Amino acid sequence: MMTHTTAADARHCATDLAPDLSTASAPNDSVQPADRRLATTLAAEDLAEWEGGLSPHDRITCRLHRRWAYQCISSPRHIIAVTGHRWCDDCATGLTVLVDELTRRVELTCPCCHQTPNTRATEQIIRTCEASLHAAHRRVSSTRRTSWPTEKFGQTA
């Protein structure tokens, strides 16, 4: 009697393993395209800039940090006083950046006068960062708004 049940259990185990293997490859497939899109966009913008058609300030990826523009715009390296990018002329101060990934809004505020400079440079940063937010999350938003990559990693681990 006992040997019979063990044999049945072993058979169940073998069939349970099979679907596990097929689902294990699925998460990898769904994670890769986001990275690939960043790599592809970086390469395309590198080329467009190199050929002289694209301004570095109009890029939605960062040549310096190799990331989406919104991911590194808060870096001090993105404060350019001469062109007015992330810069308040009145206070001679770098602007604070607020990136909201949920609403896909980017705000620039001066930490001194609490104003957003009404300049072409400010408009350009907000436009390119918001465009990079949309580009980076296009696939995620079309399926499910709440499934951020960080949550995905947490569930599989």
- Alpha-helix runs per DSSP H in the chain: 2-50, 69-72, 120-143, 149-156
Using CB under 5 A as the binding rule, whether residue 81 contacts Zn ion is answered as no
Q: Residue 93: beta bridge partners?
A: 88
Of 64, 81, 98, 102, the residue at the interface with Zn ion (CB under 5 A) is 64
Piece of the chain touching Zn ion by CB under 5 A; list 7-15, 16-24, 110-118, 139-147: 110-118
Question: What's the CA gap between 69 and 60, in Å, rounded?
Answer: 5
Of 65, 104, 127, 152, the residue at the interface with Zn ion (CB under 5 A) is 65
Q: Please state whether 52 falls in left (phi above 0), alpha (psi between -120 and 50) or beta.
A: left
Of 54, 91, 126, 135, the residue at the interface with Zn ion (CB under 5 A) is 91
Tell me which residues touch Zn ion (CB under 5 A).
62, 64-65, 72, 88, 90-91, 110, 112-113
